[in-house]
Structure 1
Amino acid sequence: MVIWQQSFLVRKQLLQLVLLHTAWEMGSGQLHYSVPEESQHGTFVGRIAQDLGLEVSELVPRLFRIESEEHGDYFEVNVQNGILFVNSRIDREELCGKSPLCSIHLEVIVDKPLRIFHVEVEIKDINDNAPIFSVNQLNLFISESTTSGSRLSLESASDADVGQNAQIAYRVSLNDYFVLNTQNKNGKIMSPELVLKRTLDREDIPSYHLLLTATDGGELELTGTVQLLITVLDVNDNSPVFNQSVYEVSLSEMSANGILVIKLEATDPDEGINKDIIYAFNTPLPSFGIDENTGEVRLKGKLDFEDVNLYEIQVLATDKGHAPMQGNCKLLIEVLDVNDNTPEMSLKSLSVPVPEDSPLGTVVALISISDRDSGANGQVSCSMSPPGLPFKLMSTFKNYYSLVVAAALDREWQAEYKLVVTAQDHGAPSLSTSSSLVVPIGDVNDNAPAFVQPSYTIFVKENNPPGAHIFTVSASDPDVAENGQVSYWLDEKLWPLSSYISVHSESGKLYALQPLDYEEMKLLEFQVRAKDAGLPSLCGNVTVQVFVVDENDNVPAVSAPVEDGHTLLVVPVAAGHMVGKIHALDADSGYNAWLRYELHEATTGPWRVGLHSGEVSTVRALEEMEGGISHSLLVLVKDHGKPVLSATATLSISLVASAQAIKTDTRISRTGGGPQPLADNVNVYLIIAICSVSSLFLLVIIVYMALRCQNQAKEAMAYGPGTATLVCASEVGSWSYSNRHSHILAGVSGEASGKNDLMVFSPNIPVFAENREMRNTKEIISDSSGEVSL
């Protein structure tokens, strides 16, 4: 389309030239004038009538006129004076454009005769147009990686003027990066160029605003300008940069999952995708996560100060450029401790059992205290409970406590201690832990075996079977093991006892090795010693008094009268006259020796015998007429034992007329025994002593009966620790005594003594062991096997 328009204009111009040439040939000549463009109305152009050789006066008559087919009425002729003047404003640029020659062709026509004259008025260019650019702002783009010396072509300015007025010179505003370069070609200035003097940095100066000025060559220079906006195109030549090289954050170890830790921000001075940043950790972390687009770091796991108290995280920022660049920073996350760990106790050393003789300050245990927390949360104090224990805790060095002996120990008072050690930290709130510890006390042989009583008094029936168990002594030793293992033995230093008594070394049982005979031995006194097995061993002793309790094992023994003979001669006497007396003795004691006399049922005659005295007397008066009659009396002598033992005495009595020497023929028999030795005459002093204490005996009997009714004791012969009772004759009867010596074996004196005047016996009163009313007593009953039961 553009080419067609240009071709049309060329053909039009050629046609105009042809027509002008034809008209010129028809006229007589041609005039040439010039006038500056933009001339005012009336501006003188030339004396056209004169120049055409026409008279001014004939201009009107000949119908002088000018015509211009193309350019209208730019010019007019004053027919009064024949002057050609400017009729209207002429703009050469509008009329001729950029044509170097601009002329207006006028045709002057006169009639009579017809003549046509050709007049050419050249329109002179004046500098009335400043250079102009097609745009007010020229946008240029240059990469920041462009090397110095590179060129940027600029748009040329245009100037509607021609010639010198259209000669344009360029200049650019001062700057440090660009210079203006213009090239001439065939004397004409070509398009200007910007030459890069130094490398660009878009991040330093992203764009440049320059003013390009175009100046024409007129005498009065006119200029035109255009704004140059040079935009520096980004190249991914910058790494992302964090606003801090190191970030420090504190975070409680109890922080909730998903909490925002920090938001990191990196900047990239590049543009576009070159500045778009992706965030990431250098290495994956189980506890933290980062948003790759926003840089937000969030907690995604559980923190534990005791495991990790500081996280050093390398964070990377990578841009999205074609050749990605990377920046980094360090993120320090300090985990703040929370008192979430209870103290821990560890028993490093325990020395048990603790000997009870341990000195003060002896270390029993070494306890390690630790707390995984830090600061005040990890500072632990240690205490012990309950109070009042003979131990204390001492801080030896950091995190270690020693349990030491703080008071004297006594295993026999307390064999072990249960204590609780509590460790408590100083956190808020405080946490604590407790541990129980049992401290046994080791035994030391510091206690000798001890008997319950300082002495024992026991009663043993005579005639016991050999080896009978008569008593058990027991000593206790509060010590343990070998220190409390007690063995027994008899102390025979003062008196040999091995033939009478033995003791079992382990059980403490006392055995009678042979039958005891009350008539031979009434008291055995000895010491039993108890010894433990400790090193060194300790001993204790107890005195044992064994009273032999009489049994009815002796029949009464009848002694013959002092006078010799077998017949008692009496003279007739009145009733109640004593004619004789039976003397009998019983080697037993107590009730067993208490005798009574009876006439045998076969005995007849005027006789009677005293139940307790043995005196034979008449029951009626004997007459002379009865003289020469011989009477035989059979007297039974019985004791009060169980079973009753008895003996018989035969007394022959003859009546005589006058007094004669009386002789008694006594024949003695006894029940259940062999021959017994006859006793000596009754000691007169003994009888006096017995009578003097008869009242005392009566009192003892009364007390005995009262106690018997109160305790409802068994009627059995008993023995045990107790006090022997002294008894004498009273109104209830008389005692008979053995003429044998009674022996007392004493561990202290070792002497044996015989007594004819006083006897010691234990009445038939039950005695009970450990009875509140009758203390220090035990009832002992022999069984059928001869063993004695307690």
Structure 2
Amino acid sequence: MFVLGRDYLLKKQLLHLILLHTAWEMGSGQLHYSVPEESQHGTFVGRIAQDLGLEVSELVPRMFRIVSKEHKDYLEVNAQNGILFVNSRIDREELCGKNPLCAIHLEVIVDNPLRVFHVEVEIKDINDNAPIFRTKEEKLFILESRLVGSIFPLEGALDADVGTNAQLTYHLSPSEHFMLDFQTNSDDNSLGLVIKKPLDREDISLHHLLLTVTDGGQPVLSGTVQLLITVLDVNDNPPVFNQSVYKVQLLENASNGTSLVKLNATDLDEGINKVIAYSIRSVTPSKLDVLFRIVPNTGQIILNGKLDYEDTNLYEIRAEATDKSAYPLSGHCKVLIEILDVNDNIPEVSVTFLLVPVPEDSSVGTVVASISVSDKDAGANGQVTCSLWPTMLPLKLVSTFKNYYSLILAEPLDREKVAEYKLIVTVQDQGSPSLSASSSLVVPIGDVNDNAPAFAQSSYTVFVKENNPPGAHIFTLSASDPDVAENALVSYWLDEKLLSLSSYISVHSESGNLYALQPLDYEELKLLEFQVNAKDAGLPVLCGNVTVQVFVVDENDNVPVVSGPEDMTLALLVVPVMAGYVVSKIHALDADSGYNAWLRYELHETNRGPWQVGLYSGQISTTRALDEMEGGSSQSLLVLVKDHGQPALSTTATLSVSLVASTHVTHIDAHLPRMGGSPKTTGDNVNIYLITAICLVSSLFLLAIIVYMALRCHCPPKEPMVYGPGTATLVCASEVGSWSYSNRHSHILAGVSGEAGAKSDLMVFSPGIPATVENGKQQDLLSAMVSESLFISPW
């Protein structure tokens, strides 16, 4: 009967385990292996690389590895062939205790790209623990008056294995008076000794029996206990508990001294045989016997220590009630104490993998970190949720498997906007009150070369005085790059196409300093226009450029030059010659520009005589009327020509004037038109000359006003101008005032072609007209206006 019952139970439990295992595998969606406990080092578990769809040749380059948070290094993977094998001894009982399902969870991680797999290896139980009794000998005291069929509880054996390996069968040595009673119910397996034949103390006062227990494993393991049964006389009524099983629920945070339950047993005997004392025979687990105590005379069971649901959640107390007869009898009961969980464990969060720094060009979906959470509590107290703060981040948490999360990239990154992210991972349970824990993470962003060097302006204008020393520093360019390290290391160079610039300008590759390699000459070169490139040291190299215009500023380094001979001889007919009569004109040129080329004429103080020279026109005229009495005399005039530069440069011209009396008029008539003519020969045309000159000047003035207004309304804003070493002088006006126009030969070097162009310098001053003019002397008025105010001539 026992054999048939055992086979039925084995088949039933085996079918249950198969169905449970199949459902668990289908629900997990992960790889599942199994290996017997106590397997030797190197035992084959599975071809994990093949089952995960990975090539064996990829394992080492992609840094194939496994991570087990809680189970040390029981398992390992051979990176050469992708086989999962046993690395160290696995004791299922030590690892999982009496839990029917024991598994080790592994995280399998590969890089490039990063992938995380979950693998569970079930540890199969083997029959490596024999069933054992608590003692080697158990003593029973039975009255001879006990009836046939009376049952005496026996303490069963314990087997650390599970499943079939822990299914126990008991055998009693042959006896005509006793047999075993073994029953299985939902609460416990009941084992008792049954009287099958009336006892006779006088016949046999002591019975020696051997109780043997065997498990259902292969090979079968067994244990024994000696039963010493003493047959008692007289006291034939044992104490009886009002319940055979007491069930108690107790919170794990119950304080020391808490009363659990009060046992109640009665004895039908009289006198001393009726007085009962309570005691605890055993507590399972046995190592925690000190947790409970019983009051002998009341049967009150009291907590005598501190409970921990996470350590043990169920206790079994076997209590005994014994009367005080000379031959005491005992009654027995069982107390089942269920420990209720209290939310007393803070959730735990740990980062098992962290990819730092994260390149800013990482694609959306990249796994940045792998996070596992856990809570030792049970039920709602052990159910946890994971959240990320702050929420407005380009990162998010994604649940991958049970209590495992992946921190992935949800949006593109830009290191130049945010260099690193500081975030807090918070795990919170569902208990009341809820408990939570946090872990801080710093995710730095790795720079990639995605920003080209940039200048503050699209172009720069630099003014440099001519005649600079060779190698002079004229300006410094600076480009910025928001990247870091070598990606922001900027170097400068001139456009390689501008070969014509190599003898004029150079740029320092590191500082961006511009240098003039040779002295610049304004009269030969007025403008250098070129591009400077800036590149970083990243991969790939990125470049930026800027246009630089270098204007050469004129200095007063050219002496005025008189056109024609510096010594002139002039014969003047003395007819009468009126004051203001134009005798001749000195022409001079200056290669400079602006104030440096604005010339003025002066007579030397020592030989002025009746002569004067126009300050800006160079016209030599009389200061008074000449008469015939002065004929025959000769005078030498020294004219000093100066520019307005700082310092001023000058030159001289000598004019020899011979005064001829009227008796020689026949010899000088041919010269009169060149010197201005006589009033008689030119008087008829003076009005025409005057009207024409006035109309011409008025037209030019009106045209200049129209052009000026048009430029003011339509010209775009000028580029910022930067001056090189020294101060640039801009000509705006003169304290004397005149019209003067300069159109000189000039060169502009720009771009690659080095084309030359012409540049005109125009200085505008208010006309200066003599304060007094004599009436009727139209020739002198015309000469003064043309010479002092309205004369326009190329220099």
TM-score by length of 2: 0.56
Q: CA deviation at 1:691?
A: 6.3
2:734 is the alignment partner of 1:732: no
The residue aligned with 2:279 is 279
Q: Which amino acid aligns with 1:624?
A: E
2:340 is the alignment partner of 1:336: yes
SS of 2:487 mapped into structure 1: helix
The residue aligned with 2:607 is 603
Q: 1:578 aligns with which of 578, 582, 585?
A: 582
The residue aligned with 1:521 is 525
The residue aligned with 1:641 is 645
Q: Deviations over 1:183-221 (max 9, x none)?
A: xxxxxxxxxxxxxxx9799xxxxxxxxxxxxxxxxxxxx
2:552 is the alignment partner of 1:568: no
The residue aligned with 2:374 is 370
Q: Deviations over 1:356-376 (max 9, x none)?
A: 221111111111111222212
Q: CA RMSD in A?
A: 4.1
- Partners of 1:437 and 1:649 lie apart in 2 by 90
Q: Which amino acid aligns with 1:759?
A: D
Q: Is the 8 A contact 1:691 1:730 kept in 2?
A: no
- Partners of 2:520 and 2:553 lie apart in 1 by 9
- Partners of 1:286 and 1:694 lie apart in 2 by 119
- Partners of 1:419 and 1:255 lie apart in 2 by 39
Q: Is the 8 A contact 1:693 1:728 kept in 2?
A: no
SS of 1:367 mapped into structure 2: strand
The residue aligned with 2:625 is 621
2:757 is the alignment partner of 1:753: yes
Q: Is the 8 A contact 1:595 1:734 kept in 2?
A: no
Q: What does 1:436-515 align with in structure 2 at a 5 Å threshold?
A: 436-515=440-519
Q: Is the 8 A contact 1:522 1:743 kept in 2?
A: yes
The residue aligned with 1:219 is none
Instruction: Mark the structure with the bigger radius of gyration.
Output: 1
Pair 698,540 (structure 1): closer, same or farther in 2 beyond 3 Å:
closer
- Partners of 1:616 and 1:281 lie apart in 2 by 148
The residue aligned with 1:260 is 259
Q: Deviations over 1:299-320 (max 9, x none)?
A: 3433332333333445455555
- Partners of 1:439 and 1:506 lie apart in 2 by 33
Segment drifting more, 490-499 vs 543-552: 490-499
The residue aligned with 1:386 is 390
Pair 583,761 (structure 1): closer, same or farther in 2 beyond 3 Å:
closer
- Partners of 2:257 and 2:145 lie apart in 1 by 48
Identity %: 65
- Partners of 1:619 and 1:236 lie apart in 2 by 173
Q: Which amino acid aligns with 1:259?
A: T
Q: CA deviation at 1:718?
A: 4.4
Pair 627,699 (structure 1): closer, same or farther in 2 beyond 3 Å:
farther
Q: CA deviation at 1:285?
A: 3.9
Q: CA deviation at 1:470?
A: 1.6
- Partners of 1:395 and 1:504 lie apart in 2 by 56
- Partners of 2:706 and 2:448 lie apart in 1 by 55
- Partners of 2:528 and 2:699 lie apart in 1 by 26
SS of 2:415 mapped into structure 1: coil
Matched length: 497
- Partners of 2:143 and 2:323 lie apart in 1 by 18
Pair 386,199 (structure 1): closer, same or farther in 2 beyond 3 Å:
closer
- Partners of 1:258 and 1:311 lie apart in 2 by 17
Q: CA deviation at 1:423?
A: 2.1
The residue aligned with 1:550 is 554
Pair 269,734 (structure 1): closer, same or farther in 2 beyond 3 Å:
same
Q: Is the 8 A contact 1:287 1:299 kept in 2?
A: yes
- Partners of 2:357 and 2:763 lie apart in 1 by 55
- Which has a greater percent of helix? 2
TM-score by length of 1: 0.56
Q: CA deviation at 1:745?
A: 0.8
Q: Deviations over 1:163-197 (max 9, x none)?
A: xxxxxxxxxxxxxxxxxxxxxxxxxxxxxxxxxxx
Q: What does 1:68-217 align with in structure 2 at a 5 Å threshold?
A: none
The residue aligned with 1:406 is 410
Q: What does 1:648-663 align with in structure 2 at a 5 Å threshold?
A: 648-657=652-661, 658=665, 659=668
The residue aligned with 2:299 is 295
SS of 1:349 mapped into structure 2: strand
Unaligned stretches of 5+ residues in structure 1: 1-142, 148-197, 202-232, 664-686, 704-712, 764-790
Q: Deviations over 1:112-134 (max 9, x none)?
A: xxxxxxxxxxxxxxxxxxxxxxx
Q: CA deviation at 1:146?
A: 9.2
Q: Is the 8 A contact 1:235 1:270 kept in 2?
A: no
SS of 1:410 mapped into structure 2: coil
Q: CA deviation at 1:429?
A: 3.2
- Partners of 1:480 and 1:631 lie apart in 2 by 82
Q: Deviations over 1:348-400 (max 9, x none)?
A: 11112222221111111111111222212211122223333222211011111
The residue aligned with 1:534 is 538
- Partners of 1:726 and 1:604 lie apart in 2 by 32
SS of 1:463 mapped into structure 2: coil
Q: Deviations over 1:543-583 (max 9, x none)?
A: 1111112222223222235xx96323323332112222222
Q: Which amino acid aligns with 2:647?
A: P
Q: Which amino acid aligns with 2:548?
A: V
- Partners of 1:729 and 1:565 lie apart in 2 by 31
Q: CA deviation at 1:618?
A: 1.4
SS of 1:255 mapped into structure 2: coil
Q: CA deviation at 1:749?
A: 4.1
- Partners of 1:242 and 1:567 lie apart in 2 by 161
Q: Is the 8 A contact 1:287 1:300 kept in 2?
A: yes
Q: Is the 8 A contact 2:239 2:276 kept in 1?
A: no
Pair 390,199 (structure 1): closer, same or farther in 2 beyond 3 Å:
closer
Q: Is the 8 A contact 2:145 2:236 kept in 1?
A: no
Q: Is the 8 A contact 1:354 1:439 kept in 2?
A: yes
Q: Which amino acid aligns with 1:567?
A: T
- Partners of 2:552 and 2:542 lie apart in 1 by 32
SS of 2:501 mapped into structure 1: coil
- Partners of 2:699 and 2:756 lie apart in 1 by 23
- Partners of 2:337 and 2:515 lie apart in 1 by 90
Q: Which amino acid aligns with 1:570?
A: L
The residue aligned with 1:249 is 248
Q: Deviations over 1:121-164 (max 9, x none)?
A: xxxxxxxxxxxxxxxxxxxxxx97699xxxxxxxxxxxxxxxxx
Q: 1:422 aligns with which of 414, 421, 426?
A: 426
- Partners of 1:635 and 1:643 lie apart in 2 by 19
- Partners of 2:415 and 2:650 lie apart in 1 by 64
Q: Which amino acid aligns with 1:629?
A: S
Q: CA deviation at 1:243?
A: 4.7
Q: CA deviation at 1:260?
A: 1.2
Q: Which amino acid aligns with 2:761?
A: M
Q: Is the 8 A contact 2:293 2:302 kept in 1?
A: yes
